[in-house]
């Protein structure tokens, strides 16, 4: 019988690559256990830590692992802004905690999102005017008009008019007066 060839083990580079690959798979999987452990190791408040991780990873489903409803609702808002997608604002309404005391509303989410991405067309999605509803994210209140004013891209003197997608009209806000027209113009 002949001798067997010696068994070759992977080189250090291959082992390193395999380690990185396995670590990446764990992190990408969104395993909440790892996130909770990391948040605990940081000594930060668990709910707010998970909120920050969800925001940075743009992972709205991770928000559901937050215990308290107020930071859970804010988590959806922060993920919407970071991911540049208004979808999490609408997903909020489908959650059992939606409407609990201290939670943010979908309207607040849309207004915060519109300001962050500087898109006045998002303001049209605000369903109910709630000028009395104020928070750290919407100290001026919430309404399509407040949202338009906060976005500040257009509709003010010397700038192009904004287009309200749902109303199908152009508008300008000049001296606290809304002027609407059928065609684009400079305010």
- How far from 176 is each of 131, 168, 173, 179, CA to CA, in Å? 16, 21, 6, 10
pLDDT at residue 3 greater than cutoff 50: yes
More confident residue, 129 or 21: 129
**Residue 94 falls within a domain, yes or no?**
yes
pLDDT of residue 179: 75
The total number of structural domains in the chain stands at 1
**Residue 170 falls within a domain, yes or no?**
no
pLDDT of residue 63: 95
pLDDT band for position 130 (cuts 50, 70, 90):
low
Q: DSSP characters for 20-53?
A: HHHHHHHHHTT-HHHHHHHHHHHTS-HHHHHHHH
More confident residue, 186 or 112: 112
pLDDT band for position 166 (cuts 50, 70, 90):
low
pLDDT of residue 36: 61
pLDDT band for position 134 (cuts 50, 70, 90):
confident
**Residue 76 falls within a domain, yes or no?**
yes
pLDDT of residue 21: 34
**Residue 58 falls within a domain, yes or no?**
yes
Nearest to 107 by CA among 72, 147, 68: 147
**Residue 123 falls within a domain, yes or no?**
yes
pLDDT at residue 114 greater than cutoff 70: yes
How do residues 56-83 score in pLDDT, each as one tens digit?
Answer: 999 999 999 999 999 999 999 999 999 9
pLDDT band for position 53 (cuts 50, 70, 90):
very high
**Residue 101 falls within a domain, yes or no?**
yes
**Which pTM does this prediction carry?**
0.63
**Residue 184 falls within a domain, yes or no?**
no
Q: Which helix (H) or strand (E) holds 169?
A: strand 169-174
pLDDT of residue 157: 56
pLDDT of residue 75: 96
Domain that residue 106 falls in: 44-132
**Residue 71 falls within a domain, yes or no?**
yes
- Other C-beta atoms lying within 10 Å of the C-beta of residue 106: 25
- How far from 94 is each of 111, 154, 160, CA to CA, in Å? 19, 33, 37
């Amino acid at each position: 019988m002949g001798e067997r060839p010696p068994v070759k083990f992977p080189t250090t580079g291959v082992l390193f690559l395999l380690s990185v690959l396995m670590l990446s798979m764990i992190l990408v999987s969104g395993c909440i256990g790892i996130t909770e452990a990391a948040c605990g190791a940081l000594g930060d408040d668990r709910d707010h830590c998970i909120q920050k991780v969800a925001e940075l990873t743009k992972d709205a489903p991770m928000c559901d692992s937050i215990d308290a409803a107020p930071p859970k609702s804010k988590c959806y808002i922060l993920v919407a802004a970071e991911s540049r997608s208004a979808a999490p604002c609408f997903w909020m309404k489908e959650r059992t905690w939606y409407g609990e005391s201290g939670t943010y509303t979908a309207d607040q989410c849309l207004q915060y999102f519109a300001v962050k991405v500087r898109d006045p067309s998002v303001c049209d999605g605000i369903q109910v005017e709630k000028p009395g509803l104020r928070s750290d994210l919407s100290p001026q209140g919430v309404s399509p008009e407040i949202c338009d004013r906060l976005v500040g891209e257009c509709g003010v003197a010397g700038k192009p008019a904004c287009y309200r997608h749902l109303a199908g009209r152009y508008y300008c806000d000049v001296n606290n007066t809304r002027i609407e027209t059928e065609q684009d113009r400079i305010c």
